Structures are given as C-alpha cells and as structure tokens.
Amino acid sequence: MKKWTLPLLGLIILMCLVVEPGFIQHRESAAEVQVGPPTTAPQPSAQKGMGSDLAYLFRAPNAAEKKAIAKQLQLTPEEQANLQKIDQSYSADIKALTSQYTQARDGLLAALRQPCPSGERVSAESQKAGQALSSLMTKEVQLWNSMAAGLPKEKGCQFWKLFAESRAKSR
C-alpha cells in the first residue's frame, strides 16, 4: 500500500463526516426556521445543499422551529407542554453527544493536520468521529419519534409531514 493511501482515505472519511466548516454552530442556527411548505425564496439549507444530509436532517429543533410547529399544528397548551417535556428529557443527552462529536471531529482534524499524518491515527480518529456522529443522530431521531408519538395520531402524522417539508429537501 502506498504511503499516502491511508491519509487520503482519512481525508475522504473526514469529508463524509464534516458537513461544512462550523457544522455544530450551523446546527444551532435559528436562521433556517421554516416549518411547512417551502416559500418561493430559497432557504439557506437548500442553497448550501444540506437538505438531505442526515446530520442536518435530524438535528434537534431550535426554539423558533418549536414555535412554528406549535402554530402550524395548532397545538393545545397541554400538547405544547408535553412536547416541551419530551424536548427537555433529551436536551442534556443531545448536548453531551454534540460535545463528544465536536471533540472527535477536532481530533480527526488534528490528526490530518500533522506534518506527516499517520494513517493509523487518522483511521482511529475517523472511527471515533463516526461513532460519535452516529450516537448523536440516533438520539436526535429518538427525540423526533418521541415528539411525534406524544401527539394525537392525526397531529403526529401532520408533524412528520411538516418535518419532511422543512428538512427533507432535495439537492
């Protein structure tokens, strides 16, 4: 195997793991709030081609998105309180997993930025980052499933339709 093969493999894996620079900050951004049918103006996520990236797709909803969901589904105060409880129950875990992913991603970037990257280290760091991202996304999917399950059946169905219209945009 050529000396440059493993670092190149690590770089390819990194490109798959890191959606864009400032990924975590972007996930927290309130600038992308739109729940429901797309407007005629392109949304930031569509402009960046992120609508189908899994990390973007399942990120936890921000405050403005939660408000838009409540408004568009015409949630009762009780339903809103239930969703808030569900969100709070997942919040600490998602925050911790986000931190773990950030650290793992930074470790991978540090391994790649060495004067002579070690293929073994790049491979190990990419595995850590992949596992951290997988754990984070699993928890976020659990959050969305719990939120939908916490609503009456009809509103749960509408909830997923709004999710798809808002998040699952094609490139």
User: For the chain, which residues make up each domain, given as ranges?
Assistant: 91-171
- Does the pLDDT value for residue 50 go beyond 50? no
Closest CA to 16 of 136, 98, 93, 127: 127
Q: What is the pTM of this model?
A: 0.69
170: left (phi over 0), alpha (psi -120 to 50) or beta: beta
Give 3-state DSSP helix, strand, coil % of the chain, rounded to 5: 70, 0, 30
- Does the pLDDT value for residue 10 go beyond 70? no
Predicted pLDDT of residue 27 = 46
Mean pLDDT, rounded, for 2-16 = 50
3-state secondary structure 42-66: CCHHHHCCCCCCHHHHCCCCCHHHH
- Does the pLDDT value for residue 151 go beyond 50? yes
